[in-house]
Structure 1
Amino acid sequence: MQYNYRKIALFGCLLAAVVVTLGAYTRLSNSGLGCPDWPGCYGFMSVPTLAEDVLVAQSQFPESEIEHEKAWIEMIHRYFAAILGLLVLFLCVIAIRYKRESPLPTKLVCLLTLLILFQGALGMWTVTMNLQPFIVMGHLLGGFSILSLLSLLYFRVATSLSPLADKVSHRFKMVLFVLGILVIQIALGGWVAANYAAPHCTGLPACNNMELFSINSLFHLPIGQENYEYGVLPFETRLSIHFVHRFWALVTSIAIFVMAIKLYALATSTTFKYAILWVVALLIIQLSVGAAIVYLQFPLLLTLFHNFMAAMLLTSMVRLCFLIKYRCGEAV
């Protein structure tokens, strides 16, 4: 049972990474309202393509123009998200069913199930509230949270919890603190995407129009609109949002590098050393991709890769926390 559960959990991690990437592609390709209803598309469970179905869809949603490419992008994302939800529910049922026979992390998988249900509600509100930025950012964070918890579930069931003696055993709070800094950075990235603020800050390392930056403009919230597609905030607010994301990227990078140097100096096992180097390598790649995105004027595929790398960096930090929390004992 443990072996099969581990394989299903691993598949869940891979599927969650696909769902997060598809969600980012849906957002970046402006396909978030490709289907104006939820969970179907123009009243159908797939994109209407037959002439009679298109006529029915147009009569039911006269204010929406059917763009088949965007609609399919949105529906493919929903299909994969639905499969992921069923998979998590299956993992939860199995964990509860065999609770006495096999020591599976029941509480963790139950938390995952609740998060999946809430994520589905956020997906519905994203459409019904016409891409309200707070909901969009929450939906993005929900996806990253599900990936993180699924990764933690896989680490729990796939890794021997026998003690691994190492001097980093007392550094869990520091790593957890840096993980929190990274989560804030991901949330800021989600806020940039939700407000379509990426192209409003060109130039490196600072924005070309930095004279427009204003702390006060950051409190200009996107509320009270009927539709938030393509953003509703003024230029200076979006520029300020983007610059804060860049500034916090610097804070995050310094925090991770300092953490890595301290941990690597203490680490005695190759397991921890490789885990630390993996985090640093992913961070360097992420910083390089971020700079390339601005230099190349925000190409879609490179921006999509930036989202994917953020998910991988988060997962690597979760693994580092796991190793210290569950594997690390006193150094011998």
Structure 2
Amino acid sequence: MQKGLVAAILLAIVVIGLGAYTRLTDAGLGCPDWPGCYGRLAVPQQAEHIEHAAKAFPERPLVPHKAWNEMIHRYFAGSLGLLVVGLAVVAFRRKQQRLLAAAAVLLIVFQATLGMLTVTLNLMPLVVMGHLLGGFAMLALLFSWWLLQRRPLQATQQAAPWLWGGLAVLLLQIALGGWTSANYSAIACQGLPLCHEPWTENYRLDAFHPLPEPHSEGYEFGVLEHQQRQTIHVTHRIWAGFTAVYLFLLALSHIQRRHSSIQRARASWMLLLLFCQLALGVANVLWQVPLAVAVAHNLGAALLLLAMLSLVLAHYQLGSTVPMSHDKEMPYGKVEHA
């Protein structure tokens, strides 16, 4: 079970990376139908299949490299779904973590539905952002499942409110990043730390309307005006600054106080990932969102979420404070006591 969960976590990270790569290479509609590609389970390659695809979808000619980007993402996502279902079956048979297992299966179904709607609704921003957040939720759920398999919760322990606050702050920042990407706003703002343009005068709340009007071909390449995209981008940056300060202080307090070695190690990892994520964000602005950096920025957000989640769960698993003499992780199945 442990190895299966680790495999599922790694596969979920790959799926998130491939999803980002697909989105950033404008391949979200590389296959205009779902779940296949131009009516086939693989990208058409033979002449007669390509001809049939052109007749079936005259409004969207086949672009092989975009179609392959999309289908590879679907293949990996489908593999993750099968693995999660298999893990859920094992969990129910062993009567272990059945609530998490059921939630994982439901989330896989929900994600598959959003994947279909992403195509059929022509990249509607709300659906695209929801699909991204669903991927992050799947990864977080699998990671929590793995942590709880290794070390059970202590019913008498609870995490401090500011820890849950840190998780909420980070989730909102991830959602803003998803909205920025879904509305093609990644390069709408030049300069650091904020736009050189007078963005305060052009700030528009309608940039966050959940259902903007599509153009004739849907939402591909964005439908918002420049001022709206700039508003989204600036909001993402401002909240990134608040998130960075909040998580920095949170991690630093755990490293300096008398917490267990496990909690201090998790806080240290979160601090390292936070600095990496900030560096990637700055690099995206300076270098105009290069593909490799943009994909790494997505993956960095996913890893930062896992680090934050692990810190929250550590307080339920270990207690908030552990004497220094007990600063050693207990063997599998044991629990440190405050």
> TM-score scaled to structure 2, two decimals?
0.90
User: 1:125 offset after TM fit, Å?
Assistant: 0.1
The sequence identity of aligned pairs, in percent, is: 43
Residue matched to 1:200 = 188
User: 1:324 offset after TM fit, Å?
Assistant: 1.0
CA RMSD of aligned residues (A): 1.7
Residue matched to 1:182 = 170
Residue matched to 1:305 = 296
Partners of 1:218 and 1:57 lie apart in 2 by 36
Residue matched to 1:285 = 276
Change over 3 Å in CA distance of 1:162–1:205 after alignment to 2: closer
User: 1:56 offset after TM fit, Å?
Assistant: 1.1
Partners of 1:263 and 1:42 lie apart in 2 by 53
Which of 213, 217, 222 is equivalent to 1:224?
213
Residue matched to 2:67 = 71
User: 1:217 offset after TM fit, Å?
Assistant: 4.3
Residue aligned with 1:181, SS:
helix
Residue matched to 2:125 = 133
Does residue 56 of structure 1 match 2:52? Answer: yes
Residue matched to 1:9 = 5
Partners of 1:23 and 1:48 lie apart in 2 by 21
Please tell me whether the aligned partners of residues 207 and 231 of structure 2 are also in contact (alpha carbons under 8 angstroms).
Answer: yes
Partners of 2:208 and 2:92 lie apart in 1 by 45
Specify the code of the residue in structure 2 equivalent to 1:86. Answer: L
User: 1:106 offset after TM fit, Å?
Assistant: 1.0
Partners of 1:219 and 1:128 lie apart in 2 by 22
User: 1:136 offset after TM fit, Å?
Assistant: 0.2
Partners of 2:309 and 2:158 lie apart in 1 by 16
Change over 3 Å in CA distance of 1:54–1:185 after alignment to 2: same
State the Cα deviation string for residues 108-133 of structure 1 (Å, max 9, x = none).
11101101100000000000000000
Partners of 1:310 and 1:162 lie apart in 2 by 26
Specify the code of the residue in structure 2 equivalent to 1:130. Answer: N
Please tell me whether the aligned partners of residues 197 and 242 of structure 1 are also in contact (alpha carbons under 8 angstroms).
Answer: yes
Partners of 1:261 and 1:312 lie apart in 2 by 18
Specify the code of the residue in structure 2 equivalent to 1:209. Answer: E
Please tell me whether the aligned partners of residues 36 and 64 of structure 1 are also in contact (alpha carbons under 8 angstroms).
Answer: yes
Specify the code of the residue in structure 2 equivalent to 1:309. Answer: G
> TM-score scaled to structure 1, two decimals?
0.92
Residue matched to 1:149 = 141
Which of 20, 40, 45 is equivalent to 1:24?
20
Partners of 2:84 and 2:103 lie apart in 1 by 10
Please tell me whether the aligned partners of residues 161 and 327 of structure 1 are also in contact (alpha carbons under 8 angstroms).
Answer: no
User: 1:328 offset after TM fit, Å?
Assistant: 2.1
Residue matched to 1:107 = 99
Does residue 320 of structure 1 match 2:311? Answer: yes
Specify the code of the residue in structure 2 equivalent to 1:198. Answer: A
Residue matched to 2:245 = 254
Partners of 1:81 and 1:267 lie apart in 2 by 42
Please tell me whether the aligned partners of residues 217 and 240 of structure 1 are also in contact (alpha carbons under 8 angstroms).
Answer: no
Partners of 2:82 and 2:94 lie apart in 1 by 18
State the Cα deviation string for residues 245-283 of structure 1 (Å, max 9, x = none).
000001101111121233233333221111111101100
Specify the code of the residue in structure 2 equivalent to 1:224. Answer: E
Partners of 2:153 and 2:32 lie apart in 1 by 51
5+ residue gaps, structure 1, are: none
Which of 249, 264, 274 is equivalent to 2:265?
274
Partners of 2:191 and 2:19 lie apart in 1 by 27
User: 1:160 offset after TM fit, Å?
Assistant: 3.3
Q: Greater CA deviation, 29-38 or 293-302?
A: 293-302
User: 1:219 offset after TM fit, Å?
Assistant: 4.5
Specify the code of the residue in structure 2 equivalent to 1:295. Answer: L
How many residues are paired up? Answer: 319
Specify the code of the residue in structure 2 equivalent to 1:133. Answer: P
Partners of 2:310 and 2:240 lie apart in 1 by 21
5+ residue gaps, structure 2, are: 324-338
Residue aligned with 2:187, SS:
helix
